[in-house]
């Protein structure tokens, strides 16, 4: 079955950008890749924790980061803080896609400079809407 098709008229984004997907669950990386491909994004790289993500960020130019919060080694929040402290990525769009949905989590992420926040479970439309907002 998979996620419902996203209406093409709702998608007006630069789909040539390189997106880094960070999640310790391959399932979530796969679902996000399916949605992003449906939206027309083809340049996708992935990492299973913040440490691996940071290595990728240091070695190639990434235009957008989509990250989980709760991961081993380096959490999504720690990755976000590292990204915002770097010269290269301090203004890079950073979308947190996480099951951590308590008020304090959202406040911490906003204070650390997250661009937007999606709570799991989500619909394909929710991802599309948030991407449109942060890629304006």
| Residue ranges in the chain assigned as alpha helix (H) | 26-38, 50-59, 76-84, 103-112, 124-134
Is there a cis peptide before residue 121, judged by omega within 30 degrees of 0?
Answer: yes
Q: Which is nearer to another protein, 59 or 102 (CB)?
A: 102
Member of 7, 9, 27, 59 binding another protein (CB under 8 A):
27
72 to 101, contacts with another protein by CB under 8 A? 72, 98-101
Least Cβ distance, residue 74 to another protein (angstroms): 13
Interface with another protein by CB under 8 A: which range of 28-36, 39-47, 57-65, 87-95? 28-36
CA angle 50, 115, 124 (to 5 degrees): 85
The residue within the footprint of another protein, chosen from 18, 73, 84, 120 (CB under 8 A), is 120
DSSP assignment of 49-82 equals: SHHHHHHHHHHS--SEEEE-SS-SSS-HHHHHHH
Look up tokens 């299973």; give the residue. 48
Choices 13-21, 54-62, 88-96, 115-123; region in contact with another protein by CB under 8 A: 115-123
User: CB of 80: closest distance to another protein in angstroms?
Assistant: 18
């Amino acid at each position: 079955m998979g996620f419902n098709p996203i209406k093409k008229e709702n998608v007006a984004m630069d789909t040539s950008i390189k997106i880094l997907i960070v999640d310790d669950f391959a399932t979530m990386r796969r679902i996000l890749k399916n949605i992003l491909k449906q939206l027309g994004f083809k340049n996708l790289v992935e990492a299973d924790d913040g440490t691996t993500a940071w290595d990728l960020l240091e070695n190639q130019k990434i235009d957008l980061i989509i990250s989980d919060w709760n991961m081993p080694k380096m959490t999504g929040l720690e990755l976000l803080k590292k990204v915002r402290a770097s010269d290269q990525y301090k203004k890079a769009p950073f979308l947190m896609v996480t099951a951590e949905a308590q008020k304090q989590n959202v406040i911490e992420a906003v204070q650390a400079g997250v661009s937007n926040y999606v709570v799991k479970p989500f619909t394909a439309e929710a991802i599309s809407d948030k991407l449109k907002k942060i890629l304006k």
